[in-house]
């Protein structure tokens, strides 16, 4: 590996994250379903981060970051901005570590995500996704309180935390004497993609990765093409509420460009079909943004015939009303 050797987390960073998380994070199962294999024509494995603490992968990075805060800085608490899954991850990690958490959250975040964040003991500061800058609001809170900012993705400890998912995928496939050949992963800020691609490719360099983004929110795909960080035209307007970050991360993008470099998109219709498939055939609750990798496989957007394929079910925090609509 090359340019990003200086910035990307190392294998040792991911090992350290796995140690910190042992007995705290759930070692989520890698699920295989014959009905999905037959449908896709490949050996498909689903990394069910829906079953992670707080219902999404975000707990991993948050816990790795927050548990690394030095003791003398812990009483001032943590601040984060998030549309919902990172919020819950930060709130849960802070509570486990006895710290105060404040979350800057869009006022149109799904009700369930808001309620679950509050239930985890965090304070919520709402903002308008279309007119206000969440990073600026968070920065003011950090300055006023001396708190620690927990960024959603652009942080080596966050990326290393998500990297433990890649490590587990390689280990669990190894038990079956398999190696991942193709991995599809949703991309928003790119922390999950960067972490997993590092975690997998440090052990299995031949694994081929694809990011998947909602149609109209394909900043990562266009950034791969242009070689620089492109932005989305819109700030809202997909059922994938978890995948609306405006542009790839400063730290995550160079990692993802080097390790992944190939992107796909999925339409809301394809995502809805994947959520419905997961309900009917897999008996798993997956939120739209969490099902986008599965959506790309079911839509046949990629030739995976005969391969060992991994898709990340990154979260399951979906409002009951929306879920009922999607499965009917």
Write down the least CB distance from residue 316 to a copy of itself, Å.
Answer: 3
Residue 97 vs residues 7, 50, 107, 224, 251: alpha-carbon distances, Å? 27, 22, 27, 38, 27
- Footprint on residues 172-211 left by a copy of itself (CB under 8 A): none
Tell me which of 10, 15, 31, 95 binds a copy of itself, using CB under 8 A. Answer: 31
Q: Does 38 bind a copy of itself (CB under 8 A)?
A: no
Q: Which is nearer to a copy of itself, 155 or 241 (CB)?
A: 241
Least distance in Å: CB of 251 to a copy of itself? 29
Q: How many alpha carbons lie under 13 Å from residue 100 in its C-beta half-sphere?
A: 12
Rounded distance, CA 9 to CA 133, Å?
A: 28
Q: Which is nearer to a copy of itself, 26 or 149 (CB)?
A: 26
Sign of CA dihedral 324, 290, 68, 106: negative
Region binding a copy of itself by CB under 8 A among candidate stretches 75-83, 209-217, 238-246, 316-324 = 316-324
Please state whether beta strands 182-186 and 148-149 pair in parallel, antiparallel, or not at all (unpaired).
unpaired
Q: Contacts for 119-126 with beta carbons within 8 Å, 24 or more apart?
A: 120/54, 120/88, 120/91, 120/92, 120/95, 121/91, 121/94, 121/95, 122/87, 122/90, 122/91, 122/94, 122/95, 124/87
The Cα 87–Cα 83 span in angstroms is: 7
1-30: which residues touch a copy of itself (CB under 8 A)?
A: 26, 29
Binding mask 44-73 for a copy of itself (x = CB under 8 A): ------xx-x-x------------------
Residues 102-121 that bind a copy of itself (CB under 8 A): 112
Judge contact between 190 and 163, C-beta under 8 A. no
> Judged by CB under 8 A, does residue 255 bind a copy of itself?
no
Interaction of residue 316 with a copy of itself, rule CB under 8 A: yes
CB 85 within 8 A of CB 113: yes
Q: What's the distance, CA 155 to chain centroid? A: 14
Task: Tokens for 264, please give them.
Answer: 């796909």
Query: Nearest distance from residue 290's CB to a copy of itself, in Å?
Result: 9
Q: How far is the CB of 63 from a copy of itself (least distance, A)?
A: 12
- Which residue, 250 or 280, has its beta carbon nearer to a copy of itself? 280
Cβ distance to a copy of itself smaller for residue 128 or 280: 280
Binding residue for a copy of itself, selected from 66, 80, 157, 282, defined by CB under 8 A: 282
**Please, what is the minimum distance in Å from the beta carbon of residue 327 to a copy of itself?**
4
Orientation angle between helical segments 11-21 and 58-66, nearest 10 degrees? 90
Instruction: Find the part of the chain contacting a copy of itself (CB under 8 A) among 32-40, 155-163, 237-245, 297-305.
Output: 32-40
Q: Does residue 321 bind a copy of itself (CB under 8 A)?
A: yes
Please list, in sequence order, all residues whose beta carbon lies within 8 angstroms of the beta carbon of residue 281, skipping any fewer than 6 positions away. Answer: 33, 35, 36
Does 250 bind a copy of itself (CB under 8 A)? Our answer is no
Residue with tokens 């400063």: 250
CB of 176 to a copy of itself, least distance (A): 10
Q: Which is nearer to a copy of itself, 36 or 78 (CB)?
A: 36
Contact residues toward a copy of itself (CB under 8 A) are 26, 29, 31-35, 50-51, 53, 55, 112, 279-286, 316, 320-321, 323-324, 327-328
């Amino acid at each position: 590996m090359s340019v990003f050797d200086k910035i990307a987390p190392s294998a040792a960073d991911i090992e350290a994250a796995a140690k910190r998380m042992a007995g705290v994070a759930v070692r989520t199962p890698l699920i295989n379903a014959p009905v999905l294999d037959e449908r896709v024509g490949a050996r498909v494995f689903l990394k069910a981060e829906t079953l992670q603490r707080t219902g999404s992968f975000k707990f991993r990075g948050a816990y790795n970051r927050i548990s690394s805060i030095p003791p003398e800085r812990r009483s001032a608490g943590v601040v984060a901005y998030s549309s919902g899954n990172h919020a819950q991850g930060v709130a849960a990690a802070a509570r486990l570590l006895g710290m105060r958490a404040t979350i800057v959250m869009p006022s149109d975040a799904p009700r369930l995500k808001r309620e679950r964040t509050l239930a985890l003991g965090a304070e919520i500061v709402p903002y308008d996704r279309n007119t206000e800058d969440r990073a600026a609001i968070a920065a003011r809170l950090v300055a006023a309180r001396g708190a620690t900012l927990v960024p959603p993705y652009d942080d080596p400890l966050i990326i290393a935390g998500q990297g433990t998912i890649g490590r587990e995928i390689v280990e669990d496939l190894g038990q079956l004497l398999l190696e991942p050949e193709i991995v599809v992963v949703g991309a928003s800020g790119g922390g999950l993609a960067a972490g997993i691609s590092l975690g997998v490719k440090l052990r299995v360099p031949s694994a081929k990765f694809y990011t998947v983004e909602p149609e109209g929110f394909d900043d990562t795909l266009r950034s791969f093409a242009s070689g620089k960080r492109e932005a989305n035209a819109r700030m809202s307007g997909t059922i994938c509420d978890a995948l609306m970050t405006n542009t790839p991360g400063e730290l995550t993008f160079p990692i993802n460009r080097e390790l992944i470099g190939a992107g796909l998109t999925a339409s809301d219709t394809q995502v809805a079909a994947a959520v419905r498939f997961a309900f009917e055939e897999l008996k798993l609750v997956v939120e739209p943004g969490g099902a986008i990798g599965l959506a790309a496989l079911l839509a046949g957007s990629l030739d995976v015939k005969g391969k060992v394929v991994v898709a990340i079910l990154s979260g399951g925090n979906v409002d009951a009303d929306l879920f009922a609509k999607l499965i009917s």
